[in-house]
Amino acid sequence: MLEALIFDVDGTLAETEEAHRAAFNQAFAELDLPWRWDPPLYARLLAVSGGRERLRHYAETCDPQRAGPDCAPLLAALHRRKTEIYTAMVRDNAVPFRPGVVALSLAARAAGLRLAVATTTSRANVLALFDGTGGDAHAWFETLACADDAPRKKPDPAVYRVALERLGLPPRSCLAIEDSANGVGAALAAGLPVVATRGAYTANDDLSGALAVFPDLAAVSLADLQRLWRRTAPHPPPGPP
Ligand code: XBP
Ligand code: MG
């Protein structure tokens, strides 16, 4: 029986990456760095999960003189400030949940399914997103597995394994909902069946391995997800002849 839905956050629960991008650029300006991430560049940089890892990748590939062992304090300060800016931004100017997310979450809970989050962003960012949308979501999710809990980022399966351990469920009794190639890869590597909803920044991602790819969840019912999940459930052994 499908027992839990495990949601990714950025790009899946909400289209938050534009807010992340704005927060990165404001942090660059405040620290007098000549860095500006426009949407096409940010789309490429999103191949690297994790803001901290994304900053290091950008510094090493695009501004190597600032990279190297001595840039770690700068990158850490940048990411701390970016997170402060982002949490204030989404707390004050709500980024709404994507179409269908609220209805599906409430239907799943009403049907007795458990909900969890598995994300490479920080817990602070997830809590700020929930605050900005009115706060109800704090009660929907039984556990939030975040970057704080799993330093190795997607497509590494670590964050999904944390969510599964906290739920006390085997991967096959859950269904992951993701938006990106890294996210689908992480769920599959953790042994979970996964469905995907393409986000604004993942329109061209390779989502192979997902049971289904939807434009969003607006037209997706819990029954649809249960039908898809049942395709992956082990068939009961044949009965006596
Ligand atoms: C998306 C990410 C995050 C955000 C930035 O997370 O890769 O790194 O882009 O947030 P997911 P941080 O899709 O797994 O929710 O700066 O806090 O990493
Ligand atoms: Mg995502």
Is residue 239 over pLDDT 80?
A: no
Is residue 113 over pLDDT 80?
A: yes
Q: Which sequence spans correspond to the domains of the chain?
A: 4-15+96-230, 17-91
Is residue 28 over pLDDT 90?
A: yes
Q: State pLDDT tens for residues 72-88.
A: 999 999 999 999 999 99
What is the rounded average pLDDT for all residues in the chain? 95
Residue 150: which pLDDT band, with cuts at 50, 70 and 90? very high
Which pLDDT does position 27 carry in this prediction?
98
Ligand 1 interacting residues, C-beta cut-off 6 A: 8-11, 17, 20, 49-51, 119-122, 125, 147, 154, 180, 183
Residue 104 Cα to ligand 1 midpoint, Å, equals 23
Of 67 and 237, the structure prediction assigns the larger pLDDT to 67
Q: Which CATH number fits domain 4-15+96-230: 3.40.50.1000, 3.10.20.30, 3.30.530.20, 2.40.30.10?
A: 3.40.50.1000
Residue 10 Cα to ligand 2 midpoint, Å, equals 4
As a whole number, mean pLDDT of residues 1-8 equals 97
Of the listed 8, 149, 156, 179, which one is catalytic?
A: 8
**How many angstroms separate the CA atoms of 222 and 236, rounded?**
23
Residue 238: which pLDDT band, with cuts at 50, 70 and 90? low
Spelled out in words, what is the top-level CATH class assigned to the domain 17-91? mainly alpha
Is residue 215 over pLDDT 80?
A: yes
Cβ atoms of 147 and 120 closer than 8 Å: yes
Name the percent of the chain lying above pLDDT 70: 97
**Is 224 marked active-site?**
no
